[in-house]
Amino acid sequence: MQSIKAAVCRAFGEPLIIEDILIAPPGMGEVEVTLEAVAICHSDISFASGAWGGHLPAVYGHEAAGIISAVGDGAGDFRVGDPVVVTLIRACGSCPSCAGGKPTICETPYDTIKGPLRTADGGALEQAMACGAFAEKVVVSHRQIVRIPETLPKDLASLLSCGVITGVGAAVNAAELRPGQDVVVIGAGGVGLNAIQGARIAGARRIVAVDMTEEKLEIAKEFGATHGVLGSLKEPWKAAYKALGGRGADAVLITVGAIPAYDQAPRYLGRGGKAIMIGMPHSGDMSSYEPVVLAALGQGMVGSKMGDVVIQRDIPWMIDLYEQGRLKLDELISGRWSLSQINEAIEDTKTGAAKRNVIMFDHD
């Protein structure tokens, strides 16, 4: 095992600690990636706060990009030197979900505590989300990575690992938006902005962004929202109806984990519309709605994990969209930080003002 630096969570809700850890060489079907960038996602923050439980100590981080530095046996056609994005989607490829085209809900368990990471003294260290990318290197399944063009900057590429594919994928894959349909996106943060982009790319007629601040609504319009509604209004769905010409939406995409957003989401829907549940509330949080309305109006609610993407299909497509000027990536980055500044970057992300903060690694 080799020694690398990582940001380790040793107590929920406490600052991460930069320390030396041990990482094993890649095993069967695995690759080692030396990271150049990892973005901070609200899921990392929620995990580190104890919102969803888990083992400690742990290394979080799952929106990453870098260069393959070692390859295990049976790792496909990947080679040392390949630039790749690293995702948390560790799919086996053969269970019923994977075989049915749903790798984001793979049924094969993976023990993240018995993964490649150990503390400096050889103790257990969780490779959170099968990734553990708040570190200089990761060892992951070759099914978790996608080769990218050498010309694509790694900070931009890291965004494609989660935030972009989750938002765009929710609009295209989960909501199955068609040209001319109307959409409401609740939350104009990192995932919400990408859901807005996805709706625009899918050909949505009107896209209403809902958020708590005017500033974020203005940013949403830069990403494709046609209208903005303040979520602090007493009945914000009425303002959305007005923006949509007096009718409800064909789809509402809930990109935040706030329970009020979930409680209100069905109110935005029109006949036959469906709510796409993307944001992740804390474990134990409960939402309520009136099922007779959904039944009578033919409405639906469906969960969407990681945009229901097939990364080997969808990430190359999104890279093409970026290169064609049809998908914004540069504008999503709010700040670039070093690993030693990760706690400051996390605090900045918690304010809600940042779109995506990215940790950059210096291997010189």
Give 272-311 pLDDT, tens digit per residue.
999 999 999 998 999 999 999 999 999 999 999 999 999 9
DSSP string, 185-198: EE--SHHHHHHHHH
pLDDT at position 362 over 90: no
Q: What is the mean pLDDT of the chain?
A: 96
pLDDT grade, residue 364 (50/70/90)?
Answer: low
Q: Residue 13: exposed, middle, or buried by beta-carbon count in 10 A (0-12, 13-18, 19+)?
A: exposed
Q: How many residues can be counted in the chain?
A: 364
Domain 2-160+329-360 class in CATH: alpha beta
Distance CA 276, CA 300 (A): 9
Per-residue b/e over 90-100, b at no fewer than 16 CB within 10 Å? bbbeeeebbee
Name which of 263, 199, 259 is nearest 227 in CA terms: 199
Listed by start position, the domains of the chain span 2-160+329-360, 167-305
Q: What percent of the chain has pLDDT over 70?
A: 99
Question: Is residue 12 within 8 Å of 47, Cβ to Cβ?
Answer: no
Distance CA 69, CA 35 (A): 9
pLDDT tens digit string along 300-350? 999 999 999 999 999 999 999 999 999 999 999 999 999 999 999 999 998
pLDDT at 53: 87
For 158, the token pair is 């890291």
Q: Report the half-sphere exposure of 242 (CA within 13 A, side-chain side).
A: 7
Question: Is residue 58 within 8 Å of 44, Cβ to Cβ?
Answer: no
CATH 3.40.50.720 fits 167-305, yes or no: yes
Give 351 or 122, the one with higher predicted confidence.
122
pLDDT at position 13 over 70: yes
User: What's at 87, amino acid-wise?
Assistant: T
Residue 62 DSSP SS3? coil
For 62, the token pair is 């799952």
Name which of 27, 352, 281, 315 is nearest 169 in CA terms: 315
E strands present in the chain: 2-8, 17-23, 30-39, 58-59, 63-71, 83-86, 117-119, 126-127, 137-141, 145-147, 182-186, 206-211, 227-230, 249-254, 269-277, 300-303, 333-337, 356-360
pTM for this prediction: 0.94
pLDDT grade, residue 352 (50/70/90)?
Answer: confident
Distance CA 275, CA 349 (A): 26
Tell me the H-state helices in the chain: 42-49, 96-99, 154-159, 163-169, 190-202, 214-222, 236-243, 259-264, 291-297, 311-323, 342-350
Distance CA 289, CA 301 (A): 11
pLDDT at position 71 over 70: yes
Distance CA 159, CA 244 (A): 31
Distance CA 350, CA 192 (A): 16
User: What's at 96, amino acid-wise?
Assistant: P
pLDDT tens digit string along 96-133? 999 999 999 999 999 999 999 999 999 999 999 999 99
Distance CA 280, CA 44 (A): 11
